[in-house]
Amino acid sequence: MRSVHAALALAIALSGPVSAQAFELISRDEVTAIRDGSLPGAQLEATPRSAVANAPAIELLEPNAANKFRAPVNVHVRLSPVSGASIDMSSLEIRYLGSIFSFDITDRILEHAEVRDGEIVANDADLPAGEHEILIRVSDSLDRTGERRFEFEVLEE
């Protein structure tokens, strides 16, 4: 079922951004519920996977984790295959992390994103003030999975 949702979201994403207005990537109430595991769909997050040789590289170009910023933010991710493989976009998983629980936000991003040449751009994602952590996983055509965690802080308005 997940691959059907991912394929549908990818088809929507390939058609271009749905809206020029800000979209709610995660709400303050959801952040609280994810952190305590009470949000429906939240799940225990496994420990980070060991690095896989020649797995796809995952770069978060925006938001810049070195800076603090105000919402809404642009999300720009680059996925790069290695050794002649190609990215398997149906395997893409983007999770919001909170303590030991996580929540899948892949479809939320893809519904508002433009996907082209291994890059995902979703403009005007709204997040509450505070520290956030995102996990991105993707596999390539040789079934090698890359994983990266990104932390950043959104300032009060």
Domain holding 58, by residue range, is 2-155
User: 77 near 136, Cβ under 8 Å?
Assistant: yes
User: 54 near 144, Cβ under 8 Å?
Assistant: yes
Residue 14 is predicted with a pLDDT of 36
Q: pLDDT tens across 98-110, in order? A: 888 999 999 999 9
Looking at per-residue confidence, does 44 or 11 come out higher? 44
At residue 85, φ and ψ (nearest 5 deg) are -85, 170
7 pLDDT tier (thresholds 50, 70, 90): very low
How much is the average pLDDT of 28-53? 84
93 pLDDT tier (thresholds 50, 70, 90): very high
CATH number for the domain spanning 141: value is 2.60.40.1220
Residue 10 is predicted with a pLDDT of 36
44 pLDDT tier (thresholds 50, 70, 90): confident
Q: State the total domains in the chain.
A: 1
Per-residue CA distances from 97 to 11, 26, 131, 144, 149 (Å): 26, 11, 11, 22, 9
Most distant pair of Cα atoms in the chain: their distance: 45
Tell whether the model's pLDDT for residue 42 goes beyond 90: no
* pTM of the predicted structure, to 2 decimals: 0.80
Q: pLDDT tens across 102-131, in order? A: 999 999 999 999 999 899 999 999 999 999
User: 143 near 54, Cβ under 8 Å?
Assistant: no
